Copies of this chain bind each other. A is one copy, B any other.
């Protein structure tokens, strides 16, 4: 099925197919960073996944599970019983079906005609999660009778707490009831983290001969509305919903009693406003976002422009901008995949967008890592290390590591397989440091830098110092038994990405210490006391030059790890031609793949991209040509890196092919791959491909670089970014690029093709 059309602001599903419910549920997910909701239909289908999540409300169902975002009671649910028959799109005849997500204002609509025996109705559904009121959701349904005979309608609508996270129930059933004869309320609590929730629902029905009856069941409370739909007549159902929780920072009093009152008062106050009014209010907030550095792509393929809208829409749906105790999940708030946990994906893939476009949100994201220092200490200690070792998967900042320890049983042996990432996928610590360094360099946020960033930068270096293993045979410090970004290879020694980034982390801390001692001795003293820097720095200084950095072979290839290059090579062409890697794993098992030069995702190449100044152009080219054919791109994080790196290397045709594949990860016609949620990293990757890849922006070792190069198919690219308080717009054409600085602030220095420029107001640089 195709979800994109000549519309730059819309994702559309034409025709209903119950095999692919998960696709539109995920890619049309609604949200506002406080909550995110899959776009499951009002009526129910067996294979649907009716998930709605509230950011940060982690709970652990049982001792043997890890904490995850609980799927909250479902409020979108409505059953339509037409002349006694429960409506379903699998019954009768459905025509003119369309389900659409308006990316500009976040409204989801669905409409169709439904014929069943003598009945013919037109249904129109509209809904949105308010971006203006974080706790608020609205739904508006119109039913028209297209036939010449009257129809009896019953609607069951309320809140259903029988939903689970694939069977795990996170909520203890709380009180429920009808308030003021009018509003449904339900107050469950998470069973381990003890977070109180208040769900409130109000209905407004416009129909003939309306009667109603409330009904309660276990974990459920709903209204039954009965009305007539005369021949050619119509009815409307408006449903307004809110969620409050006892971790909401915008509440003064987080008692259930107070939350209930707040919710009721809000419902009552909003009765003055129509659905349209409330949508407009939300749309205005979306508009503010869209007006911030809009990206305009003039391309042969409209999908390129649509993709950037799609990416930015979802980045804002999924990012808890309201609370620095929360971060972005690997599937955002759009599915149960990865349990709402935060990975390195944030720093390497999503944070750059916020650094350059919404520094205030970026600040929250890096503050989350500062708040996570305790958890990182906990993890380091439990592994016998010092300093801050960031968790591979993170939930609440102080939780430390939350990666599940045991995965599904091996199909053949029946034994549970151990998930090693939480123990040995250690590059996440330098990834976090890298993200923090990018944040302070791009934003120039002095307060965060001095209060928080330095501490992270030293504390992570301290970890690496304790992590290094001395090899007396070689007189080098090594990092053994890790997983690098290429997760096909478990328990490798000296993964290039890990060693280089750890080395960078240590190097940077050493130079920072020197700088601080001179420029800001007070800050240094404070951190010295807190972290014991005197001792740590001596240790790091002694080790730094002996950290083993895998060196290029005589062919110029940086070994991914100690043994990679000695492994067997097979031709992956036939697997790469197909989408997905199922083919490879039909022929080989993971153990066999581990013994071959097959890479899951950019590993050495990611290093070359992120630390471009450390490696010469020629070496990058050789490594690209060596590794890419061996890479399955079996991670949504891989294609965008390849697109950018190949653009950097001047391979624009190849790059654009990667770009097209990368932007299609969720938006494209892959009907199953988004079932567990959309790919947050991939969405950050779309923005990076456009602004970093083709816009040529990069923050390298504290210096801004701008070197645009458009693919053949693009005639013009307009983008913008914030840089240390200045707002810059760039227009790239085939002829060159023009920069404009918005206000009369400071001049901005940047590098382009090794020349240093200063942007005062506007500047054109010829190609």
Contact = CB atoms under 8 A, between A and B. Distances in A.
Contacts of A173: 62, 64-65, 167-168
A85 B17 CA distance: 9
B164 A412 contact: no
A109 interface: no
Contacts of A220: 166
B412 A181 contact: yes
A181 B336 CA distance: 30
Contacts of A177: 409-411, 413-416
A585 B263 CA distance: 32
A271 interface: no
B19 A218 contact: no
Contacts of A90: 88, 90-91
A616 interface: no
A26 interface: no
Interface residues on A, range: 35 or more
Given A177-B409, A414-B185, A416-B175, A218 B166 contact: yes
Interface in A143-187: 161-169, 172-173, 175-179, 181, 185
A646 B169 CA distance: 50
Nearest to A586: B213
Interface in A366-408: 408
A705 interface: no
Contacts of A409: 175-178, 216
B408 A191 contact: no
A216 B411 contact: yes
A203 interface: no
Interface string A716-729: 00000000000000
A596 interface: no
- Copies of this protein in the assembly total 2
Given A90-B88, A214-B411, A411-B216, A167 B175 contact: no
Contacts of A336: 218
A167 B172 contact: no
A293 interface: no
Given A44-B46, A86-B47, A64 B414 contact: no
Contacts of A191: 62
Interface string A14-30: 00001100000000000
Interface in A398-449: 408-416
Interface-centre pick from A86, A178, A217, A414 (highest chain B CB count, 10 A): A414
A741 interface: no
Contacts of A414: 175, 177-179, 185
Which 5 pairs between the two chains have the least Cβ-Cβ distance? Answer: A177-B414, A162-B167, A177-B409, A44-B46, A169-B169
Given A65-B172, A164-B169, 15 more contacts: A19-B85, A43-B46, A62-B191, A161-B167, A164-B167, A167-B169, A175-B414, A175-B416, A176-B409, A177-B410, A177-B414, A181-B412, A214-B411, A216-B409, A217-B408
19 contacts: A19-B85, A44-B46, A46-B88, A61-B169, A62-B172, A62-B191, A90-B91, A161-B167, A164-B169, A165-B218, A166-B219, A167-B169, A167-B173, A175-B416, A177-B409, A177-B416, A178-B409, A185-B414, A216-B409
